Structure 1
């Protein structure tokens, strides 16, 4: 999980990913987490210092990474990747070689929502997980109540494995291989 930078061009602009720098990026991530659309992250009550501490904890862990996504140079999303054999899903999911856990937080739409933004970001992050990070299969565990991300995951080719309890959250454990993504709405021919 050590790809340092990745750039792709989509219908919404040039999408790039780079490692999060906690001190630099905490304020923008804090703003995104405080928005109601991020309610399922359950971090809206954190202050900027706590967000920086959270991001620093990820940076210090050899089994997970956080990435700042930009569109045309503007911070637009946060992606987190992790090894499910060591983080979050230990004892809940039997990892296969090449499994890579992923979380995605897209910035709030603001005054000028961009149609297709979340789908383009999801597609770019999935391609990056497979191509730059070498995943054989991407694993996600969104809150079962998050219908919007459930639909987006289905559009990306994720298959629901089962619902699992992760702390105080009931999560919908789902997986997606490179082939499943390639056959999906978001991963099909560009």
Structure 2
């Protein structure tokens, strides 16, 4: 696996992302019934927002997943918990696989965490998945996230969870995750967008 993080191009990528968001497993993303134009508008808005980023991640040239990162203080999380300066929020949506690959989603999630922690300003990753999304809760725990509490957001009841740099380092070392030794958060520069 060779993951390359590229900023989403709202015009060029809207059709692809629309197809991903219409998948049954993407129901928690909240855009199952969106049109291509609505997806394009959503990502044009993100591209114009200095507090929110969207990345289309490719694996050896093939689109593999979508990752969004955001500043919690400038998001619906503002006011739901005491935001710390080094907090960075994250959302992850896997593209539909051609064929299931055991451990692939975990490897992608691991790459996302390395990518986020490559920025020295990020001390803690924050996630707020829907409380019903049990698959992602298990994966979050595997990556080192600790659940804080249930919170009410405009679109869902969410499970607010946090993972510090040290928690991720310990989880990665103990999980046997492929690549955890080759790519520690200290080895990737903020500009190094390839894992």
What is the TM-score of this pair, normalised by structure 1?
A: 0.89
- 2:8 aligns with 20
Question: Helix, strand or coil for the counterpart of 1:108?
Answer: coil
**Larger relative CO (CA 8 A, sep 6+): 1 or 2?**
2
Q: Distance in 2 between matches of 1:172 and 1:63?
A: 22
Cα offset, 1:109, TM superposition: 2.4
* Between structures 1 and 2, the one with greater strand share: 1
SS at 2:131 equivalent = coil
TM-score (norm 2): 0.87
Corresponding residue to 1:122 among 99, 109, 112: 109
Shift of 1:132: 3.8
Secondary structure of 1:145's aligned partner: coil
For the 8 Å contact 1:15–1:69, the answer to whether it is kept is yes
Q: Is the 8 A contact 1:181 1:188 kept in 2?
A: no
Structure 1's 131 and 113: CA in aligned 2 closer, same or farther, altered over 3 A?
A: same
* Matched-pair contact (CA < 8 Å) for 1:163–1:171: yes
Q: Which residue of 2 aligns with 1:70?
A: 58
Matches of 1:164 and 1:120, distance apart in 2: 28
In 1, Cα distance between equivalents of 2:87 and 2:135 = 24
Partner of 1:45: 33
What displacement does 1:97 show? 1.4
Aligned-residue offset at 1:154: 0.4
Local SS of the residue matching 2:73: coil
| Alignment pair present for 1:143 and 2:154 | no
Counterpart pick for 2:152 among 154, 157, 165: 165
What is the alpha-carbon distance in structure 2 between the residues aligned to residue 66 and residue 173 of structure 1? 21
Paired with 1:100 and 1:179, the residues of 2 have a C-alpha distance of 15
Q: Which runs of 4+ in 1 moved over 3 A?
A: 186-190
How far apart are residue 134 of structure 1 and its match? 3.6
Instruction: Report deviation, 1:108.
Output: 1.7
Deviation at 1:66, TM superposition (A): 0.4
Extract unaligned runs of 5+ from structure 2. 183-195
Q: CA deviation at 1:188?
A: 5.3
Q: How far does residue 133 in structure 1 lie from its aligned partner after superposition?
A: 6.5
Cα displacement string for residues 36-86 of structure 1 (whole angstroms, at most 9, x for unaligned residues): 010101101001110000000111111101000110111110000000011
Does structure 1 retain, via aligned residues, the 8 Å contact 2:76–2:154? no
* Deviating more after overlay: 131-140 vs 143-152: 131-140
